[in-house]
Amino acid sequence: MSDTKSNAMWGGRFAAGPDAIMEAINASISFDQRLAQQDIDGSRAHAAMLAQQGILSSKDAETIREGLLTVLSEIETGKFAFSAALEDIHMNVEARLKEIIGEPAGRLHTGRSRNDQVATDFKLWVRDQFDAAEQGLEALIRALLAQAEAGADWVMPGFTHLQTAQPVTWGHHMMAYVEMFARDLSRVRDARARMNECPLGAAALAGTSFPIDREATASALGFDRPAANSLDAVSDRDFALEFLSTASICAMHLSRMAEELVIWSSAQFRFVALSDRFSTGSSIMPQKKNPDAAELIRAKIGRIVGANVALLTVMKGLPLAYSKDMQEDKEQVFDAADTLMLALAAMTGMVGDMTANRDSLEAAAASGFSTATDLADWLVRELNLPFRDAHHVTGTLVAMAEAQGCDLPDLSLADMQSVHGGITEAVFDVLGVHNSVASRTSYGGTAPVQVRAQIARWKESLG
Ligand code: ARG
């Protein structure tokens, strides 16, 4: 303590302060200052518990509580001078507390360590991100439901291999994304419930000999219970990894949808028009309206998956319990969380604003022999052909239409009968795209009646 150069928090056995490069590699304050609120919440809960347990006088606890509030307001108003010499948010807050309240500040760290402190702070922060992701996903799902509802029976081409496959409904396509983002939502809720155990009181790694009440701090901080093993509590980062893996899957869904919007908004497709609010222009080509937001959402997954891989790699092979390696958890998660929230918000805005071009969708739905399967199914149903034979007859008719430069419904009955004598006028009913989609009433199918049932189900479950 007498050596002014050594660290005031842990420098008792040190004769000299750290090298500048040591400080540069060691300090986390430049980024972990984002945990200020959580750090102060954790300290307040800890101090209150220490007083309740008679480990700290109520007078000291009250002085600490007020001092911490002053520190928080200094941080919130930008008056706080963060110091790299004090390494991290925990020691920055405690050192400032000492300047404000003096001796009682030194009693706050009784029965805890920075190891359980940082695990607690970070968990509180990540928990907020799960909540933000839940809100972001709900908003996106609502925007998709509105699109699905508006065009539940609009027809469009359904693709496999990005080749025209069978007609589907716009509502059905939108609802496919609802299913994806609803799974993300369920992963978010699931992981949030699992991570809600409090590390505080695990102390450095072994627990403490002070008669602390871990239930009290856990409940004061909104946790369901204290984490049950102190070694695990200080060295677990599964909650961050689950956030990142959940975010990665969600980002993959966002990226797929973004890719479709990029394709659909092109002049060649014209399936959707993105609003001006979510498009950009070109500085050289005056006609351009670019889907930059969609392209960026398509790309953002790189950072999120990168963070997931980075943290898995940091954690791999770490012996129990805490190691400083784990300080590398924060920047990855901070960036991934910021990225995910922005991407969700941008996609929600784009989906909410975009206009589906019903006529282009319908024209495209009818092209590319999209009802060939309906024709084959008709041959099976009405003429009792084995499906493989029906497939062959239909293929011959497709080739005929292609040679004539027309679509299947444009072939004459005589043409059809030249391939199979049993075909009647009634076949033309199934060649229309509206009849095609309306016929696919199997559960989960593209028929508007099914799509509307799914929309109702999701609206009900979202509340
Ligand atoms: N800044 C550190 C981190 O983020 C806090 C914990 C430090 N603990 C320690 N024993 N040095 O991991």
* Average pLDDT value for residue range 195-209: 98
Q: Give the separation between CA 116 and CA 123, rounded to whole angstroms.
A: 10
Whether residue 184 is predicted with pLDDT greater than 90 in this model: the reply is yes
1 pLDDT exceeds 80?
no
Mean pLDDT confidence for 103-111: 98
Asked whether the predicted pLDDT for residue 416 surpasses 80, the reply is yes
For ligand 1, atom 4: residue with the closest CA: 327
What value does the CA radius of gyration of the chain take, rounded to a whole number of Å? 31
Residue 64 has pLDDT above 50, yes or no: yes
* Phi–psi pair at 317, nearest 5 degrees: 80, 5
Mean pLDDT of 295-313: 98
Q: Lowest-pLDDT range, 7-21, 57-71, 259-273?
A: 7-21
Query: Closest ligand 1 atom to the C-alpha of 89?
Result: 1
Q: How far apart are CA 428 and CA 375, in angstroms?
A: 9
pLDDT digits (tens, 9 = 90+) for 20-39: 999 999 999 999 999 999 99
- Residue 63 pLDDT > 50: yes
Report whether residue 119 contacts ligand 1, using a CB cutoff of 6 Å. no
Task: Report yes or no on whether pTM surpasses 0.85.
Answer: yes
If you average pLDDT over every residue of the chain, what do you get? 96
Q: Give me the phi and psi of 196, to 5 degrees please.
A: -85, 55
When pLDDT is averaged across residues 62-91 and rounded to a whole number, the result is 98
Long-range contacts of 289-296 (CB under 8 A, 24+ apart): 289/265, 291/261, 291/262, 291/265, 293/346, 293/349, 293/350, 294/258, 294/259, 294/261, 294/262, 294/265, 294/350, 295/258, 295/262, 296/343, 296/346
What pLDDT score does 310 carry? 98
Q: Is the pLDDT of residue 3 over 90?
A: no
pLDDT of 191 higher than 70: yes
Q: Is 86 in the pocket of ligand 1 (CB under 6 A)?
A: no
Tell whether ligand 1 has an atom less than 6 A from the beta carbon of residue 118. yes
Question: Which of the residues 30, 186, 266, 282 is marked catalytic?
Answer: 282
Q: Is 16 strand, coil or helix?
A: coil
CA distance 41 to 210: 21
**Arithmetic mean of pLDDT, 62-74:** 98
Lowest mean pLDDT of 273-282, 324-333, 344-353, name the range. Answer: 273-282
Q: Is the peptide bond before 203 cis (omega within 30 degrees of 0)?
A: no
| Both tokens assigned to 14 | 């040190």
Mean of pLDDT values over 176-191: 98
Instruction: Please check the confidence at residue 4 and state whether its pLDDT lies above 70.
Output: no
161 is catalytic: yes
Torsion of CA 342, 347, 353, 356, to 10 degrees: 170
Answer whether residue 7 shows pLDDT above 90: no
Q: Is the CB of 92 under 6 A from ligand 1?
A: no
The pick from 33, 113, 114 for probing ligand 1's pocket by mutation, whose C-beta has the most ligand atoms within 8 angstroms, reads 114
Q: How far apart (Å, rounded) are the C-alpha atoms in residues 259 and 252? A: 11
Paired sense of beta strands 272-273 and 355-356, if any: antiparallel
Q: Give residue 5's pLDDT band: very low, low, confident or very high (50, 70, 90).
A: low
Convert the pLDDT of each residue in 129-175 to its tens digit: 999 999 999 999 999 999 999 999 999 999 999 999 999 999 999 99
How many residues are listed for the chain in this entry?
Answer: 463
Q: Please indicate whether residue 173 is annotated as part of the active site.
A: no
- 33-47, 94-108, 328-342, 425-439: which has the minimum mean pLDDT? 425-439
pLDDT at site 50:
98
Q: Candidates 314, 324, 328, 331: which one to mutate for ligand 1, based on the most atoms within 8 Å of Cβ?
A: 324
Q: Is the CB of 115 inside a 6 Å radius of any atom of ligand 1?
A: yes
Query: Could you tell which of 87, 90, 118, 334 is best to mutate to test the pocket of ligand 1, judged by most ligand atoms within 8 Å of the CB?
Result: 118
240 ligand 1 Cβ < 6 A: no
At 335, the amino acid letter reads D
